[in-house]
Amino acid sequence: MKTYILRRLLLMIPMLLGVSLLVFVLVYISPGNYLDVLKAQRDIPAEFIAKKERELGLDRPWYMQYVSWLGRTVRGDFGESWSYRIPVIELLAQRAPATLALSLTSLVFAWAIAVPLGVFAAVYRNSIFDKLSALSAYAALSIPEFFLALLAVIFASQWGGFPTGGLSAIDHDYLSPVGQLWDYVHHLILPTIVLGIGGAAGLMRVMRTNMLDVIQSDYVMTARAKGVPGNVIMFRHVLRNAINPLVTSLGFAFSGLLSGAVLVENVMNYPGLGQLIFQAFMRKDRDVVMAAVIIGSSMLIIGNLIADILLAWVDPRIRYDK
Partner 1 sequence: MTSDLLHQILRRRAGAFCLVALILFYVAAFFAPLLAPYATSDQDLTKTYHPPTGVVWHEGQLAVRLYKLVDPTCAKYEAEPGQFAPIHFWVKAPTYHFLGLIPVSHRLFGVEAPARLYLLGSDETGRDVFSRLLYGSRVSLTIGLIGILITTVIGLTVGGLAGYFGGVFDSVAMRGTELIMAIPGLYLIIALRAALAKYFDDSDQIFILIVVILSFIGWAGTARVIRGLTLSLRNRPFIYAAEALGQGPVTILWKHLFPNLFSYLIVTSMLSIPGYILGEAALSFLGIGIQEPSTSWGLMLSQVQDLKVFMLNFWWLLTPGLAIFITVILFNVLGDVVRDIVDPKLKTQV
**Interaction site with partner 1 (CB under 8 A):** 15-16, 18-19, 22-23, 25-27, 29-31, 138-139, 141-147, 150-151, 153-154, 157-158, 164, 205-206, 209, 212-213, 259, 262-263, 266-267, 277-278, 281, 284, 289, 292-293, 296-297, 300-301
CB-wise, 150 or 250, nearer to partner 1?
150
Q: Minimal distance in Å, beta carbon 89 to partner 1?
A: 18
Beta carbons within 8 Å of 134's beta carbon, 6+ residues apart: 121, 205
Residues 191 and 203: their CA atoms lie apart, in Å, by 19
CB-wise, 141 or 228, nearer to partner 1?
141
List C-alpha distances in Å: 167 to 39, 64, 98. Answer: 34, 40, 8
Q: Minimal distance in Å, beta carbon 5 to partner 1?
A: 17
CB-wise, 44 or 141, nearer to partner 1?
141
Q: Give just the sign of the alpha carbon dihedral 133, 136, 142, 145.
A: negative
Beta carbons within 8 Å of 261's beta carbon, 6+ residues apart: 99, 102, 103, 145, 191, 195, 272, 274
Q: Minimal distance in Å, beta carbon 142 to partner 1?
A: 4
Q: Minimal distance in Å, beta carbon 262 to partner 1?
A: 5
CB-wise, 84 or 278, nearer to partner 1?
278
CB-wise, 175 or 213, nearer to partner 1?
213
Q: Minimal distance in Å, beta carbon 312 to partner 1?
A: 19
